[in-house]
């Protein structure tokens, strides 16, 4: 496939530079007069309601404190600025960040929105600096660029923040949209405000689009065809140093519990990234499995802060379970005994779910009551799909050979579902009970191993394209 030539949106002529500077000045005044007061009010309200931390408030407003990384002689170490809104996006972006850091020698600055991601990046040695993204604050954005000697901005998926993009363009810095996704329904919303977004789209140097549908919609939004390159999506790239993400970040404290799950001949049901309202909605159909000695259930809430709600509800329903909420805690014999007795686990830790998928990843034809046919030893029920959110990660269980049951709200997973539809069963609330029994008794065929391998290697496939574009933008390998 011939790679399109990079359109250098970051190197305009003198007239364009002057116009960009004037536009940025006007937008800065707009921010100070209108956006800042509204943001201050909204963020303060969210803080008072306990939804966000104090750090989230002041960093979103642009009150940052970043170290000034410098070499002897005052020359600053360059940074690649990466933005990932959520934990899932950073999980997908991290393999590429690791490869880029190795290849370019530059530091990584990560901006984000998610409170849980804040805790994760604080322990991640790959990240040199991190902060909540200053929301459309040109002064703070310019300060970050200068303070960290930023050379380029990499956005995970299609994050369109007009003032962020205009600021980068005014400074002559390239912007790359990795795993760009723009479905038809989302494109309609962008077109309603095309007078803003057309200019914003024009500030992006390269869109690494993951589908023809995305490419078509980007062109409709005024993006130049020279700036669009079809490439694998990073959403499914699980490779990291030392192997798959699940192995690289393995928590050895889980060993005894995972061993128990592997040896168990009971069928297993994993409620993955499930929301509390969703759990209540489906509970009447799930009760018998929670109370049955023939099943092991792993409940992994989407929002860890809702753990207390899950725990209190189960207690009210007189259903016992082992609760795991400290990743550093070892699994005691008492924990194992409780799990063996109840068959239920409430998982309130971040980043451990994939290990439970791996421990459960097999089909069995030897269950006591099903000796003559293959049944599903494990089924993953995908959260966020039985309420209008769009569904959460389908690829993780599929990559482990686990059949997937997903609700009708699945627009966030359309990309993977388009190539894995034969390994997934779609359900609705009215038919959920029957659909769950069906997939447990007659599982769909496993997702193709060859497709899994290609998807997992997305970062390596995209790397040469991105390095070439960085080089054309004047960004080469940095030597310390």
- Residue ranges of domains in the chain, CATH in brackets: 14-237+457-472 (3.40.50.11720), 245-455 (3.40.50.2000)
The more confidently predicted of residues 376 and 139 is: 139
Structure tokens at 177: 């949209």
Pull the structure tokens for residue 473: 């933008």
Is the per-residue pLDDT at 372 higher than 80?
no
- Provide φ and ψ at 109, rounded to 5°: -110, 125
* pLDDT score recorded for residue 469: 95
Averaged pLDDT, 328-356: 91
Q: With bands split at pLDDT 50, 70 and 90, how would you rate the model's confidence at 364?
A: very low
pLDDT-derived band at 479 (thresholds 50, 70, 90) equals low
**Would you give the DSSP letter of residue 387?**
T
pLDDT of residue 13: 61
Q: Determine the Cα angle at 174 with ends 172 and 175, to 5°.
A: 130
Q: Measure the CA–CA gap between 240 and 79, rounded to whole angstroms.
A: 21
- Taking residues 77-101, report their average pLDDT: 91
Q: Are 269 and 295 in contact (CB under 8 A)?
A: yes
- pLDDT-derived band at 117 (thresholds 50, 70, 90) equals confident
Residue of 363, 474, 463, 469 lying closest to 103 (CA atoms): 463
Give the tens place of pLDDT for each residue, 151-202. 999 999 888 888 899 889 888 899 999 999 888 888 888 888 877 788 888 8
User: What pLDDT shows up at residue 242?
Assistant: 31
Task: Tell me: pLDDT of 110 over 70.
Answer: yes
Cα angle 204-100-85, degrees, rounded to a multiple of 5: 55
pLDDT of residue 8 exceeding 70:
no
User: What's residue 87's pLDDT?
Assistant: 81
Measured distance CA(56)–CA(343) in Å, rounded: 38
Lowest mean pLDDT among 6-15, 177-186, 207-216: 6-15
Tell whether the model's pLDDT for residue 370 goes beyond 70: no
The residue written with tokens 């049944």 in the block is: 375
User: Cα–Cα–Cα angle for 396, 90, 346, nearest 5°?
Assistant: 50
**Does residue 345 register a pLDDT over 90?**
yes
pLDDT for 267-305, tens place per residue? 999 999 999 999 999 999 999 999 998 999 999 999 988
pLDDT tens track for 227-273: 999 988 887 765 333 333 344 456 788 989 999 998 888 999 999 99
Most confident range (mean pLDDT) of 179-193, 299-313, 443-457 is 299-313
pLDDT for residue 386: 96
| Lowest-confidence segment of 50-54, 190-194, 359-363 by average pLDDT | 359-363
pLDDT in the model for residue 120: 80
Of 65, 123, 124, nearest to 93 by C-alpha is 124
Confidence label for 119 from pLDDT (cuts 50, 70 and 90): confident
Q: What is the pTM of this model?
A: 0.76
Return the H-helix or E-strand segment holding 119.
helix 115-121
Residue 464 pLDDT greater than 70, yes or no: yes
Separation between Cα atoms, residue 78 and residue 5, nearest integer Å: 25
Residue 162: name the closest of 203, 134, 208 by CA: 203
pLDDT exceeds 70 at position 39: yes
pLDDT tens digits, 387-427: 999 888 888 898 888 999 999 999 878 878 878 888 899 99
- At 114, the pLDDT band (50, 70, 90 cuts) reads confident
Q: Please count the other Cβ atoms lying within 10 Å of the Cβ belonging to residue 193.
A: 12
Chain centroid to Cα 148, Å, comes to 25
Q: What is the mean pLDDT of residues 437-464?
A: 82
pLDDT of residue 463: 93
How does the average pLDDT of the chain come out, rounded? 85
């Amino acid at each position: 496939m011939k790679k399109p030539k990079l359109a250098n949106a970051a190197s305009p002529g003198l007239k364009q530079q002057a116009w960009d500077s004037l536009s940025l000045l006007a937008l800065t005044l707009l921010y100070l007069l209108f956006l800042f007061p509204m943001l201050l009010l909204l963020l303060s309200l969210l803080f008072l309601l306990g939804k966000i931390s104090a750090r989230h408030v002041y960093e979103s407003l642009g009150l940052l404190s970043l170290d000034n990384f410098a070499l002897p002689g005052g020359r600053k170490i360059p940074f690649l600025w990466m933005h990932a809104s959520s934990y899932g996006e950073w999980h997908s972006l991290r393999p590429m960040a690791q490869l880029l850091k190795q290849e370019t020698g530059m530091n990584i600055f990560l901006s984000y929105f998610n409170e849980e991601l804040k805790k994760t990046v604080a322990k991640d040695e790959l990240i040199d600096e991190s902060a909540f993204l200053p929301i459309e604050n040109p002064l703070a954005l310019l300060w970050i660029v200068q303070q960290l000697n930023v050379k380029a901005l990499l956005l995970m998926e299609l994050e369109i923040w007009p003032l962020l993009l205009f600021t980068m363009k005014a400074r002559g810095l390239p912007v790359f949209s990795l795993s760009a996704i723009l479905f038809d329904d989302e494109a309609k919303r962008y077109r309603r405000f095309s007078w803003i977004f057309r200019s914003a789209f024009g500030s992006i140097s390269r869109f690494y689009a993951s589908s023809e549908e995305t490419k078509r919609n980007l062109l409709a939004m005024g993006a130049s065809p020279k700036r669009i390159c079809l490439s694998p999506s990073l959403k499914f790239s699980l490779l990291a140093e030392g192997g798959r993400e699940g192995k690289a970040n393995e928590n050895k404290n889980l060993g005894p519990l995972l061993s128990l799950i592997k040896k168990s001949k009971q069928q297993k049901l994993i409620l993955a990234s499930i929301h509390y309202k969703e759990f209540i909605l489906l509970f009447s159909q799930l009760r018998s499995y929670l109370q049955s000695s023939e099943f092991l259930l792993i409940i992994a809430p989407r929002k860890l802060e809702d753990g207390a709600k899950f725990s209190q509800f189960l207690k009210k329903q007189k259903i016992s379970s082992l609760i795991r909420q400290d990743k550093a805690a070892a699994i005691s014999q008492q924990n194992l005994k409780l799990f063996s007795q109840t068959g239920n686990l409430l998982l309130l830790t971040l980043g451990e779910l994939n290990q439970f998928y791996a421990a459960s990843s097999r089909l069995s034809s030897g269950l006591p009551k099903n000796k003559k046919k293959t049944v599903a030893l494990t089924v993953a029920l995908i959260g966020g799909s039985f309420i209008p959110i769009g569904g959460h990660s389908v690829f993780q269980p599929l990559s482990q050979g686990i059949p997937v049951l997903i609700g009708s709200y699945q627009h966030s997973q359309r990309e993977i579902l388009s190539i894995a539809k034969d390994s997934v069963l779609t359900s609705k609330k009215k038919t959920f009970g029957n659909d769950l029994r069906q997939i447990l008794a007659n599982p769909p065929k496993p997702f193709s191993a060859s497709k899994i391998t290609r998807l997992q290697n997305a970062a390596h496939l995209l790397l040469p394209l991105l390095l070439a574009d960085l080089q054309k933008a004047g960004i080469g390998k940095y030597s310390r």
